[in-house]
Structure 1
Amino acid sequence: MSDVIKLLPDSVANQIAAGEVIQRPAAVIKELVENAVDAGASIIKIYIKDAGRTLIQVVDNGCGMSPTDARMAFERHSTSKITEATDLFALHTMGFRGEALASISAVSQVELRTMRKDDMMGTCIVIEGSRVLSQEPESCVHGCNFMVKNLFYNVPARRKFLKSDQVEMNHILREFERMALVNPHIEFELTNNGTIIHKLLGSSFKQRIIDLFGKAMDRQLVPIETDTSLVRIQGFVSRPENARKRGALQYLTVNGRNMRHPYFHKAVLHCYEQLIPADEQPSYFLNFTVDPESIDVNIHPTKNEIKFEDEQPIWKILVAAVKEGLSKFNVMPSIEFDMDNAPDIPAFNPDAHASHGLDLDTSYNPFDTAPSGKKESSVSRSVHTDWEKLYEDFARNRDESYAGISESAIDAFPSEELPEDMPDPDFSGDFDNSLPGSMQLKGRYILAPSKNGLMVVDQHRAHVRILYDRYLDLARLDALATQRIIFPEVVELSPSQSSVMESISDELVSLGFDVAFLGGTSWSVNGLPSVLDSVNPHEILLSMVDCVTETGEELGESLRNRIALSMARAAAIKPGAQLTDAEMEHLLSDLFKLSAPGYTPDGKTVMSIIAFDDIVRLFA
C-alpha cells in the first residue's frame, strides 16, 4: 500500500490560510493598512471599486522594499517583525505572522510597486493565485502601492457568498474607522468609485473622533485618564444622556492595536448602571497602554482577540477611572439651590456647659387643649373613644359592602365553561368583549378578561405589531402618502451613515419619506409618512440607518421589512404611557384583527394568558 500523507502545495496551503485571514474585502484593507503603519507611513490612501470586488488599492509613503524583499514578502511565514519566538512577547508592530500577503495573493491578482527612499529605481511584481507572473524594475515613488484585483476570482464559492456592495462597503467603513482611530497621527484618505468618502488629516485623538463621527461628538465626550504601574488608560466616554439603543460607538485599543474584549466592555457598562436605561449603551473610545510582555496577541489570525495577564486588576482600574471621569465633569445629576436672596440661617452648635437661657416645661403636652393648669386626661380618653367609634363604623360599612355584592359579578368567570386545553399560540378568539373592561398595570401592560382566564398584553409590543402590519399593507398598495414638514429638518450623519442612507433612500421614498441629499454628509427630511404621528424626524432616520447598519440587510423585501419595523418602533406607544379605557379597547381590537397577534415581527411575545385554573390555585 502506498503512502497517503502528502505535503500540500504552497498554493493550496495559502488558500487554506486565506480562509482564516481574508474573509471579505475589509480584511484585505486591514492587512495592507497595518503593513503600511508598520512601514512608518504618514500618509495612507485607499481606493475602492465595487466595494472591493474589482479593485482594492492601498498607497503609502512608508519605507518601501528592495526587489528581494518585495519577492520574499509574498512567501508564507516571511516577516520582518520577529526573528524568534520570544519576540512574540515584546511586539510593537501590527503584523508578525507573515501570512497576510501570501493569503491575499492566493485568492486575487496582485500588483505591487515599491521603492525605498534612497534607491533610484523601484520594482514591480505581478502575482496571480500565488504564481509570480513577472518582476521587473520600474520607476515609482518611494513607499508601496498595492493593487488587489478581482478578489476571490479563483474561489467562486467565496466570491458568490459575498454580500451586496452596500453591505461589504459598510464592513469596509467599519474597519477603516477602527484603523483611523488607532492611528490619529496618520493622514488617511478613502475613495470609493471615484468619490472621496473620508479625508482625514493627522490630528489629536479627540479631533479624529469628531472627524469620523460628526461635530456633535464634541459635546458628548467625557475625557478619561489614569496612569498606574499596570496600565495607562486614556480616551473618552459619552455622557449618559447620549447613550444609544443601537449603533453605539464602542472602541477598545491596546498598545495601538484594536481589540474585542467583552470583560472590559462589561466594566464600562457597570459604570453606567442607574444612569442609563437597561436597553441603552454608552459610546466609548479607550486606549490601553501596557507592558507588551503582559498580553498575548497571538490568539487568532485576525489579531483582534487579546489575553491580559492582569485582567481583574485592570478591570478595577478601568471602573474607577470611568466613574471618576463621569463624576469629575458633573455628569451625575445634582441638586442645585437658588442662593439669591436666601435668608441667613444660623447654625446651631450645642454646648453641654451652656444653658442658652431656656426654661423648658417637661410636663407640657402640645396635644392637650384643656385650660392651663388642668392636667386631666379627658382629651386623650375622648380621642381613644373616637378611634373606637371610627373602627366600628368601618367594620359596619365593610360588612354592608360585602353583603351588597351581586352574585353575577362573582360568577363572571364560570369555571365549567373553560376548555381543558391551553389556548392556541396566536390567541385568536381569546379576547371577549362581553366580559368586564380592561385596565392598565404600571403604565406598561394591559390586563383584559379572556374566555380562558386573564390576558396580559404588552402595550408597546402590541402597537409595534399593529403599526408594522399596517405600514407593510399600505406599502404594498402604494398607499403610503407623504405629509410635508413645514420646516424641513437637516440631519447631519457620519460618512458611513450617509453611505447607508444613500443606499436605502429609494426604499424610504416607497414608504412615504421625502429625503434629499444636501451635499457632504447632510440630509434634509422634507416629509414623513402621514401615518406617523408625533415622531422626531431626526430620531427615526437615525434609528433606521443604525438598524440597517447592524443587520446588514440587502436591498429588497427584507430591507423594507426592517425599515417598517424601525418605523413601528419609533411611532409605537412607549412603555409608561397612560391610556384611557377607550384607547385600550381600541388597541386590543386592532391587535386581534391581525393574523398573528401573538408575537412582534422580531419574535418577541406580545401577550400571555394566566389560565383561570392557575388563578384558582393561587387562592386554594
Structure 2
Amino acid sequence: MADIIQLLPDHVANQIAAGEVVQRPASVVKELIENAVDAGATEIKLIVKDAGKTLIQVVDNGSGMSATDARLSFERHATSKIRSAEDLFQLGTKGFRGEALASIAAIAHVEMHTKLHHEEVGARIRIEGGKITEQEVAVTADGTSIAVKNLFFNIPARRNFLKSNQVELRHVIDEFQRVALAHPDIHFDMYHNGNDLFSLPASNYRQRVVNIFGNKTNEKLVPVGETTGVVKLSGFVYKPENARKSRGEQFFFVNNRFIKSPYLHHAVVSAFEGLIREQAHPGYFLYLEVNPATVDINIHPTKTEIKFDDEHTLYAILRSAIKHSLGQFNIAPVLDFDKDGGLDTPYDYKNKPVHVPTIEVDSDFNPFREEESQGNTFSSGHSQTGSGSGSGGGRPSWQQNARQGRPADWESLYVGLGDRDKSDTDHFSSVEIESGEVMGSEVRQSGMLFEESSGSEPSVTTYQLHKKYIVTTIKSGMVIIDQYRAHQRVLYEQFLRQMTVKEGISQQLLFPIVLYCSSSDVALLHELKDTLQFIGFAIDKLEGDEITITGIPASVSESEVSIILEQLIADFKDEIPDRSFSQTDRLAKSLSKTLAVRSGEILNEASQEALVNDLFACKEPNVSPFNRPTYITITVEDLDKKFL
C-alpha cells in the first residue's frame, strides 16, 4: 500500500491555524492591540471600517521593529516573548504563541509600517494571502502601524459566516474595551467609518470605567479590595439596585488579562444572594493579581480561559471580599446584636447639657373608686374630682384630667341620650333599602356590564387557568391558549403594521425621560431611531451617554421604557433571533417579547375575551413570532375517550 500521510503545505497549515486564532474581525483587533501593549505603547489608535470586514488598522507609538524582525514576525511560531518552555509559567505579556500575525496574513491583505525610535527610517511590508509581495525601506513614524484589509478574501465560506455589521462591531468594541479596561495608563482611541467612538485618556481604573460606560456609572460603583498571600483583589461591583436583566458589564482580569471564568462568576453571584431580584445579573470590574506560576493560560488559542492551581481559595476570597464591601459601604443590611440603637446620640444634642428626668406621681389616683354620681353635665364631674388633687380652682374636671393625665369622665357625656336615639329612629321608619336583586336587574337591563343569560348556559365564555392559560369553548370542544405567546403574536403583527404603514400612535410626555447608557449602546440606538419613531417612540436627543425620550407608544407605561430599551439593546447585540431577518422584523419581535403579558399575571374577563378575539384576528394565529404554538384544541371526542 502506498504511503498516504504527507506534510501540509504552509499556506494550508496557516489557514487551518487562522481558523483557531481568527474567527471574526474582533479576533484580529484583539491580537493587534495586545501586540501594541506588549510593545510598550502609551498611545494606541484603532481604525475600523465596515465593522472590520474592510479595514482594521492599529497604530501605536511602541518600540517598533527592525526590518529583519518585521519580516520574521509573520513566520509561524516566531515570537520575542519566550525562549524556553519554562517561560510559559512566568508570562508577563499578552501574546506568546507566535501565531497571530502569520494567521492574519494568511487570510487577508496586510500592510505594516514600523520603525525603531533611534532609527531614521523604517520598513514597509505588504503581504497577500500569506505571501510577501513587497518589502522596502520607508519613512514612517516611531512605532508600528498594521492595516488588515479584506478579511477572509480567500476563504469566502468563512466570510459568509460573519454576521451583520452591527453584531461584528459589537464584538470589536467588546475586545477594545477589555484591553482598555486592563490598561488605564494607556491612551486609547477608536474610530469606525470615520466616526470617533472612544477617546480614552490615560487615567486610573475608576475613571477608565466611567469614560467607557458613561458618567452615571460612577455613582453605581462600590470599590472592592483585598490582599492575601494567594491573590491581590481590587476593582468595583455595581450596587444591587443596578443589577440588570441581561448580562451587561461583567469583567474579570487576571494579571491584566481578560478572562472568562464561570466558577468565579458564581462566587460573585453568591455574594449578591438575597440582594438582587431573580434572574438579575450583577455588574463587576474585578482585577486579580496572582503568581504567574499558579495559573495556566496556555489552554485555549484565544487565551481567555485559564486554569488556576487553587480555585476554591480564590472562590472563598472573592465571595467574602465582595460581601465585606457591600456591608462596609452600607449596601447590604448588617445585623449587629451587640449595639443598642437607643444609645445613639443625635448630632443636635451632642453639645447640649444633660437634664435629669423628673417623675410626677398622682397619689390620689385609684382605678377601683366608684363614681359617686352619674350626672349629664360637666358640673357633676367637677364636684366629684374638684377636691381630689387640691389644685385647679374652678377648672372643669375634664380639663384637670387632661392636664393631670387622669382618665376623663367621658361616660357622663352620653347620659340621657338613649331616649333621644329611640325617638330619632322613628324618622327613618319609612326608608326602604334597595335589595341587590333590584339593582342587579336594573344594571342588566341597562346593558352596561352584563347581558342576562337566556338559558342554563353560563354567560362566561373564557376562563384563566393557573394564571397562564386561557380556556374558551368552541363548537367542537375547547381551546387552551398560552396567554404570553398569544399576546406576543398580537403585538408582533401590530408593531409590524405600524412600522410598515409608519403610523404609530405616540403619547407625548409632560416631563421627558432621560436615560444613560454606554456610547456603544447610543450608537446602536442611532441606527434604530427612525424605526422606533414609527411605533411611537419620540427620541429627542442621542448624544454621548444620554438619551432623551419625549414620547412613547400608547400601550407602554413610563416605568417600562428603560426595561424595553435595555432588552432591545441586548437583543440587537446578540442578534436575536437571526441575522437573516430584517431590522424591522427583529425590532418587532424584541418589543413583542418584552411587552407581552407574562405568565402569572391575572387577566379579568374582558381582557381574556379581548386577547382571544385579537389572536384569531391575526394573520398567523397558530404560532408565536418565535414559531412556538400559541394554542391547542381539545375536542369533545377527545374528552369522551378519557372516560372510557
1:189 match: secondary structure = strand
Q: Who is 1:263 aligned against? A: 263
Establish whether residue 493 from structure 1 lines up as the match of residue 517 from structure 2: yes
User: 1:533·1:571 contact (CA, 8 Å) conserved in 2?
Assistant: no
Structure 1, unpaired ranges of 5+ = 342-431
Q: Who is 1:81 aligned against? A: 81
Q: Who is 2:492 aligned against? A: 468
User: 2:526·2:542 contact (CA, 8 Å) conserved in 1?
Assistant: no
Alignment partners' CA distance in 2, 1:277 and 1:472: 33
**Cα offsets for 1:217-261 (capped at 9, x unmatched):** 111111111122222221111111111111421111111111111
User: 2:541·2:549 contact (CA, 8 Å) conserved in 1?
Assistant: no
Q: 1:541 aligns with which of 537, 560, 565?
A: 565
Q: Who is 1:117 aligned against? A: 117
Alignment partners' CA distance in 2, 1:126 and 1:202: 32
Aligned counterparts, 1:299-318, within 5 A: 299-318=299-318
* Paired letter, 1:154: N
**Cα offsets for 1:395-452 (capped at 9, x unmatched):** xxxxxxxxxxxxxxxxxxxxxxxxxxxxxxxxxxxxx9866763675xx546757689
Q: Who is 1:509 aligned against? A: 533
Structure 1 pair 496–207 and aligned structure 2 pair: CA distance change class (3 A): same
Alignment partners' CA distance in 2, 1:140 and 1:473: 56
Q: Who is 1:147 aligned against? A: 147
Deviation at residue 557 of structure 1 after TM alignment: 4.4
User: 1:534·1:571 contact (CA, 8 Å) conserved in 2?
Assistant: no
User: 1:440·1:579 contact (CA, 8 Å) conserved in 2?
Assistant: no
Moved more, 450-459 or 238-247: 450-459
Provide the TM-score with structure 1 as the length reference: 0.76
* Paired letter, 1:4: I
User: 1:445·1:456 contact (CA, 8 Å) conserved in 2?
Assistant: no
Q: Who is 1:438 aligned against? A: 463
Deviation at residue 58 of structure 1 after TM alignment: 0.6
**Cα offsets for 1:352-384 (capped at 9, x unmatched):** xxxxxxxxxxxxxxxxxxxxxxxxxxxxxxxxx
Aligned counterparts, 1:42-81, within 5 A: 42-81=42-81
Structure 1 pair 612–325 and aligned structure 2 pair: CA distance change class (3 A): farther
Alignment partners' CA distance in 1, 2:235 and 2:624: 39
Q: Who is 2:324 aligned against? A: 324
2:171 match: secondary structure = helix
User: 1:535·1:571 contact (CA, 8 Å) conserved in 2?
Assistant: no
Establish whether residue 11 from structure 1 lines up as the match of residue 11 from structure 2: yes
Aligned counterparts, 1:286-301, within 5 A: 286-301=286-301
Aligned counterparts, 1:17-416, within 5 A: 17-333=17-333
Deviation at residue 492 of structure 1 after TM alignment: 3.2
Deviation at residue 141 of structure 1 after TM alignment: 1.9
Q: Who is 2:553 aligned against? A: 529
Provide the TM-score with structure 2 as the length reference: 0.74
Deviation at residue 576 of structure 1 after TM alignment: 6.2
Structure 1 pair 2–615 and aligned structure 2 pair: CA distance change class (3 A): closer
Deviation at residue 174 of structure 1 after TM alignment: 1.2
* Paired letter, 1:218: N
2:124 match: secondary structure = strand
User: 2:503·2:534 contact (CA, 8 Å) conserved in 1?
Assistant: no
Deviation at residue 37 of structure 1 after TM alignment: 0.7
User: 1:112·1:146 contact (CA, 8 Å) conserved in 2?
Assistant: yes
Structure 1 pair 297–71 and aligned structure 2 pair: CA distance change class (3 A): same
User: 1:251·1:258 contact (CA, 8 Å) conserved in 2?
Assistant: yes
Alignment partners' CA distance in 2, 1:132 and 1:320: 55
Deviation at residue 195 of structure 1 after TM alignment: 1.3
1:438 match: secondary structure = strand
2:527 match: secondary structure = helix
User: 1:181·1:209 contact (CA, 8 Å) conserved in 2?
Assistant: yes
1:46 match: secondary structure = strand
Deviation at residue 471 of structure 1 after TM alignment: 2.2
* Paired letter, 2:74: F
Q: Who is 1:583 aligned against? A: 607
* Paired letter, 1:12: V
Structure 1 pair 241–608 and aligned structure 2 pair: CA distance change class (3 A): farther
Alignment partners' CA distance in 1, 2:315 and 2:565: 36
Structure 1 pair 149–197 and aligned structure 2 pair: CA distance change class (3 A): same
1:546 match: secondary structure = helix
Structure 1 pair 495–533 and aligned structure 2 pair: CA distance change class (3 A): closer
Deviation at residue 520 of structure 1 after TM alignment: 3.3
Structure 2, unpaired ranges of 5+ = 347-456
Alignment partners' CA distance in 2, 1:165 and 1:157: 17
2:574 match: secondary structure = helix
Moved more, 603-612 or 254-263: 603-612
Larger Rg: 2
Structure 1 pair 68–38 and aligned structure 2 pair: CA distance change class (3 A): same
Establish whether residue 566 from structure 1 lines up as the match of residue 597 from structure 2: no
Deviation at residue 506 of structure 1 after TM alignment: 3.1
1:551 match: secondary structure = coil
Moved more, 483-492 or 83-92: 483-492
* Paired letter, 1:183: H
CA RMSD of aligned residues (A): 3.5
**Cα offsets for 1:508-536 (capped at 9, x unmatched):** 23333333454434443233333435554
* Paired letter, 1:563: L
Deviation at residue 604 of structure 1 after TM alignment: 6.6
**Cα offsets for 1:127-148 (capped at 9, x unmatched):** 2211112222222222111111
Structure 1 pair 75–552 and aligned structure 2 pair: CA distance change class (3 A): farther
Alignment partners' CA distance in 1, 2:79 and 2:153: 26
Alignment partners' CA distance in 2, 1:435 and 1:264: 54
* Paired letter, 1:22: V
Q: Who is 1:550 aligned against? A: 574
Structure 1 pair 535–193 and aligned structure 2 pair: CA distance change class (3 A): same
Alignment partners' CA distance in 1, 2:254 and 2:635: 55
Deviation at residue 103 of structure 1 after TM alignment: 0.6
* Paired letter, 1:509: Q
Deviation at residue 100 of structure 1 after TM alignment: 0.2
* Paired letter, 1:232: K
2:244 match: secondary structure = coil
Deviation at residue 44 of structure 1 after TM alignment: 0.4
User: 1:547·1:566 contact (CA, 8 Å) conserved in 2?
Assistant: yes
May I ask how many residue pairs the two structures share in their alignment? 528
